[in-house]
Each structure stands twice: as C-alpha cells, then as structure tokens.
C-alpha cells in the first residue's frame, strides 16, 4: 500500500475504474496514513473520516464513472476554502467555530468530479506567511526533515501531498503560497492565471492577487485537477469566460526540442543560495542537452517586487479583514464593556500577531496623506513589473527560475523577523503582481532537501506550461519520496 499512496492520481484512477480498488479501500488507506503521520507532520486542521468514508461509499454504490476525472480520489483542501458542513478556520482563532453553509466553487467542482475530501489543510493564518508557522493552531512539518518548515502559506497542502496522505490538494497563491511549499516539499504546484479559477467561497486575503490552484505529485495530476477547477463562474466577477482546454489531454506528446527558456538574470544573482543555484544550473544544462535553448532576459524591477507586493497585499488585507468585527462573524471577546471594546478586544484576541501587523500597515498605506506615497506608487510599480514580464515573455517561450532562494529552513529560524521572512518570497510574488501563471516543479535535491524551479508563461498559457513541465519532468530523475 505504501507504493500506492505515493503513486499518481492517474495510476490510482485506473485501478479504481477497473474496480481493482474501491473508493472505500483507497480512502481508508489514506485515513490510516493520516492517523500514522499526523502526530509528526501537523498537515491538517480538520480530518473528516466519517464524511470521507460516506463519500467513498456513495461512489462505490454507484460504481466507477469514467466521466468523473477524480472518481474516488482522496484529496485535501486548504482551510481558507469553504467546505459545506466542515469547519473552515483560515488558520485563525477568529474563525475557530465557523462551519460554512455552502461550498466554494472549486469544492463544488471537486465533488462533481468524484473527489473524496479527507480534511482541511493547515496554513498560515489568513494565508499570511511563508512557513505555516503563523497557523493559530500548530505548525506543519516538512516530511523530508520534520525539524524544518514545509513552506507556506499552503504548507499543510504540500505536506499532505508529499507524505502520501492524499493524492492532491487545493492551495491558494497570493504571493507564492502554492509554488513555494510545493518546492520545499518536493511536489508540483500551479498558480493559474488570475481569473482562471473562481475565488467564490475562498476567504479573501489580497483579492487582486489571490488564485486557487492544485498541488500534486506529477504534472499530469496537476493538469487533471486544473481541468476540474478552472472555468467561468458568474459569482466571481473577476473569473474569466475564456474556454477551458482539456489540460490532461494536451499532455499526450511533449518535447523540449526548440523550447526557448528565458532566464531572468535578476533571479540568478545575489541572494540565491549556492546549493540551490547549483541544482538550477544542472537542470538548465539537462534541458539544453534535451534540445532546449536558453535565452538571457531581464526583469529590471525585480528588486522592487517585495516592497510593492507587501504594500498592495497588506492594503487589500486590511480592507478584506475589516469584516471580522466581533459582530457579524467569528470570534467575540467575552471582556466587553462598550462598542469600542467589542471591536478592539475581539480583533486583538481573535487575530494573531502577523495578521494584526498587516492590518495596521495596510490601513497606514491607505490613509489620507500616505496613500499617494505608498499605495498609489505601488500600483504604478506593479504595472511596470507586469509590462516587464510581458516584454521578457516576448523574447522566449517561458521563463525559468528558482522558486525559493534556499531549501527548507529550520522551524523557528525567521519566526521573529518578519522582514527576513518577506525576503524569502523574492522569486514568487512578482508573478502575482503580474497576474500570470506559474508552475513549480521538483528538479532535484540539495543535502537531501527538495529544490524546485518554476516556469512562467503568458496569461492563460496553462496548457503550454503543463506541456513543458511534463517534458521537463520526463528528462529529470525522480526525487523519490520522504522516508517517514
Ligand atoms: N508569503 C507571502 C505572504 O505572506 C505569500 C502568501 C500567499 O501567497 N498567500 O503574503
């Protein structure tokens, strides 16, 4: 069973369709794996054993259905995505007892496709963080070395996939939160183009940046899940009406011959750790040997991305999180004497330190007198960053760059230094400012820890990214699985 739990959705789905395995058997195996590994990993905030077994039984009773691409496939869902009847906390005390009355669009889609939802994945509170240490409940641990962080904010999703607890997970990526934990845990993760996937029922952090996407153990599995969750939804005004291709179907024959990889020089310079840089260089070499070409490109405003992102993300967060006032939603302090203390105490006690910091900074950059200097300026620089991506992508097919400047670091290392933590996002967050799609792939290991690289494409180039990603996957040795 160990092997089965580390196999791909494609392989498990075939067995399920042929009735060599039942949805109930597979679900039970995953639940056993969860029970055995959770004390070490802390990947999940809610485990819905009963609900999952009931979903699996309902599927088995009806029998396999080839038109359901996730029939009987056990998955987890980041706890920022609403699941009807199953607690959804966004990793915050503020929502500790919140049971959503409806499913997010992406969860409706998972259910229609026959997926079995095992539970809710741990995360940084309101998706603010890069390690999952900001979860109000407990940290998640990297399965390759449990003393190290799994990345974040979708750390629980990456851990659950990398440790064989489930076959895929949904995460959200506002500034790297799918791609970075995927890289640090050795799985594949995709941030789709802004608007490709509906945000309906996803608790908002930075609404102009947030996007839901898959984490899985192969590029094909990511393609399969993306085909399920992508598409127009009139309940999200920013969701795109563009037709959704069959991403999985498009992967039938792939090659690296003649593919032009743009290497932005700003991503390969100072700040990139030597061991990660070596793995990246080795990867580029292998791609060239397989027939790809390298093109030197530049994204000159990369140095401004961190400041720009954190101004915009915090401004949007301060506005989005205003709804948690102790009156309408979530936590209410018991120490209330008047209206003001209701707001102040509920928000002070309900939110963690990082969330409070961001709300205050966000409110500051939006305040009159500072708006022009910070928010407006950041919006202007964001436009420049986007234009530079578009120009760089005109010179090549896709961009290729590291995801994280370092491999997974020890738990607690940057926990008290928010600025150091923000620097860890240097290679991921400009993509969200530009609204473009990115696919993070495991390309090797350094001192036993996974290294990921991302490929970045034009808006709605998901098919191309997945095709090139699959071709890359086929020329690189598999990094194996963590020994737990
Ligand atoms: N680490 C970044 C932040 O803290 C990105 C988080 C995310 O993508 N949700 O904002």
Q: Are residues 345 and 231 in the same domain?
A: no
Best residue among 124, 314, 362 to mutate for probing ligand 1's pocket (most ligand atoms within 8 Å of CB) is 124
Nearest CA to ligand 1 atom 5: 175
Q: Are residues 153 and 224 in the same domain?
A: yes
Q: Which residues 6+ apart lie within 8 Å of 216 measured at CB?
A: 8, 9, 161, 167, 168, 169, 187, 188, 189, 222, 224, 225
Q: Are residues 101 and 250 in the same domain?
A: yes
Q: Are residues 180 and 39 in the same domain?
A: yes
| Separation CA 118–CA 385 (nearest Å) | 39
Please list the residues that pair with 446 across neighbouring strands.
449
| Separation CA 105–CA 101 (nearest Å) | 13
Q: Residue 265 domain-assigned?
A: no
User: Of 317, 352, 379, which residue is a domain's last?
Assistant: 379
Structure tokens at 438: 């990115």
The dihedral over CA atoms of 222, 227, 231, 233, expressed in degrees to the nearest 10, equals -80
Best residue among 183, 208, 313, 314 to mutate for probing ligand 1's pocket (most ligand atoms within 8 Å of CB) is 313
Q: Residue 70 domain-assigned?
A: yes
pLDDT at residue 1, as a whole number: 53
User: Of 337, 359, 379, which residue is a domain's last?
Assistant: 379
Q: Angle, nearest 10°, between helix axes 462-475 and 274-289? A: 90
Strand runs labelled E in 301-424: 398-402
The CATH number of whichever domain residue 172 belongs to comes to 3.90.1300.10
Q: Residue 284 domain-assigned?
A: no
Task: Give how many domains the chain has, as a whole number.
Answer: 2
Number of neighbouring beta carbons within 10 Å of residue 243: 9
> Which residues carry out catalysis?
78, 153, 177
The dihedral over CA atoms of 32, 33, 39, 41, expressed in degrees to the nearest 10, equals -160
Q: Are residues 327 and 245 in the same domain?
A: no
The residue range of the domain holding 363 is: 303-379
Q: Residue 107 domain-assigned?
A: yes
The tokens 């936590």 sit on which residue?
331
DSSP class of residue 244 equals: P
Ordered strands of the 188-191 beta sheet: 44-47, 116-121, 74-78, 168-172, 212-216, 188-191, 438-446, 449-456, 398-402, 260-264, 293-297
Which pTM value belongs to this model? 0.98
Q: Are residues 251 and 155 in the same domain?
A: yes
Q: Residue 481 domain-assigned?
A: no
Q: Residue 323 domain-assigned?
A: yes
Q: Are residues 201 and 330 in the same domain?
A: no
Ligand 1: nearest atom to the Cα of 174: 8
User: Of 379, 400, 430, which residue is a domain's last?
Assistant: 379
Q: Which residues 6+ apart lie within 8 Å of 466 measured at CB?
A: 190, 219, 222, 223, 226, 247, 250, 251, 439
- Per DSSP, the three-state class of 46 is strand
Q: Are residues 55 and 147 in the same domain?
A: yes
Q: Angle, nearest 10°, between helix axes 49-62 and 23-41? A: 160
Strand runs labelled E in 113-251: 116-121, 168-172, 188-191, 212-216
pLDDT at residue 329, as a whole number: 83
From the CA of 219, how far away is ligand 1's center (Å)? 23
pLDDT (tens place) for every residue of the chain, 484 residues total? 569 999 999 999 999 999 999 999 999 999 999 999 999 999 999 999 999 999 999 999 999 999 999 999 999 999 999 999 999 999 999 999 999 999 999 999 999 999 999 999 999 999 999 999 999 999 999 999 999 999 999 999 999 999 999 999 999 999 999 999 999 999 999 999 999 999 999 999 999 999 999 999 999 999 999 999 999 999 999 999 999 999 999 999 999 999 999 999 999 999 999 999 999 999 999 999 999 999 999 999 999 999 999 999 999 999 999 999 999 889 999 999 999 999 999 999 999 999 999 999 999 999 989 999 999 999 999 999 999 999 999 999 999 999 999 999 999 999 889 999 999 999 999 999 999 999 999 999 999 999 999 999 999 999 999 999 999 999 999 999 999 8
Q: Are residues 249 and 369 in the same domain?
A: no
Q: Are residues 248 and 311 in the same domain?
A: no
Q: Name residues contacting ligand 1 (CB within 6 A).
A: 127-130, 153, 173-177, 205, 313, 425
Q: Are residues 99 and 203 in the same domain?
A: yes
Q: Residue 112 domain-assigned?
A: yes
Q: Residue 80 domain-assigned?
A: yes
Q: Are residues 344 and 243 in the same domain?
A: no
């Amino acid at each position: 069973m160990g092997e089965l739990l580390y196999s791909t959705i494609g392989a498990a789905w075939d067995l399920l369709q042929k009735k060599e395995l039942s949805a109930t058997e597979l679900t039970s195996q995953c639940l056993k794996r969860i029970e055995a590994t959770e004390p070490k990993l802390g990947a999940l905030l809610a485990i819905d054993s009963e609900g999952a077994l009931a979903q699996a039984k309902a599927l088995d009773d009806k029998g396999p259905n080839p038109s359901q691409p996730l029939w009987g496939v056990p998955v987890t869902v980041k706890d920022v995505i609403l699941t009807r009847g199953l607690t959804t906390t966004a990793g915050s005390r503020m929502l500790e007892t919140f049971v959503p009355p409806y499913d997010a669009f992406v969860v409706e889609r998972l259910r229609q496709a026959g997926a079995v939802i095992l539970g809710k994945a741990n995360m940084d509170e309101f998706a603010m963080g890069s390690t999952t240490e900001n979860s109000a409940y407990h940290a998640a641990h990297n399965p390759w070395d449990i003393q190290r962080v799994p990345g974040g904010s979708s750390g629980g999703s990456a851990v659950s996939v990398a440790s064989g607890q489930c076959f895929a997970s949904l995460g959200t990526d506002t500034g790297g939160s799918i791609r970075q934990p995927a890289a640090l845990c050795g799985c594949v993760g995709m941030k789709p183009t802004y608007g490709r996937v509906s945000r309906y029922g996803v608790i908002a952090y930075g609404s102009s940046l947030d996007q839901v996407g898959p984490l899985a153990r192969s590029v094909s599995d990511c393609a399969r899940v993306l085909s399920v969750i992508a598409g127009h939804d009139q309940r999200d005004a920013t969701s795109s009406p563009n037709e959704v291709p069959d991403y999985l179907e498009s992967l039938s024959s792939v090659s690296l011959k003649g593919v032009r990889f743009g290497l932005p020089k700003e991503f390969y310079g100072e700040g990139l750790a030597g061991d990660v840089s070596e793995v990246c260089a080795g990867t580029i070499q292998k791609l060239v040997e397989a027939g790809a070409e390298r093109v030197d490109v530049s994204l000159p405003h990369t140095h401004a991305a961190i400041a720009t992102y954190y101004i915009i993300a915090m401004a949007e967060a301060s506005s989005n999180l205003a709804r948690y006032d102790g009156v309408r939603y979530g936590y209410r302090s018991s120490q209330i004497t008047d209206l003001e203390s209701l707001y102040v105490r509920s928000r002070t006690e309900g939110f963690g330190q990082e969330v409070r910091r961001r709300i205050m900074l966000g409110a500051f950059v939006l305040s009159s007198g500072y708006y022009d200097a910070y928010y407006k300026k950041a919006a202007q620089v964001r436009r420049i960053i986007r234009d530079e991506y578009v120009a760089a992508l005109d010179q090549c097919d896709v961009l290729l760059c590291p995801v994280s400047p370092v491999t997974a670091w020890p738990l607690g290392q940057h926990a008290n230094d928010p600025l150091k933590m923000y620097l860890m996002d240097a290679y991921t967050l400009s993509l969200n400012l530009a609204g473009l799609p990115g696919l993070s792939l495991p390309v090797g290991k350094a001192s036993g820890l996974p290294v990921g690289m991302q490929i970045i494409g034009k808006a709605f180039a998901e098919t191309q990214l997945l095709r090139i990603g699959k071709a890359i996957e086929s020329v690189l040795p598999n990094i194996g699985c963590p020994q737990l």
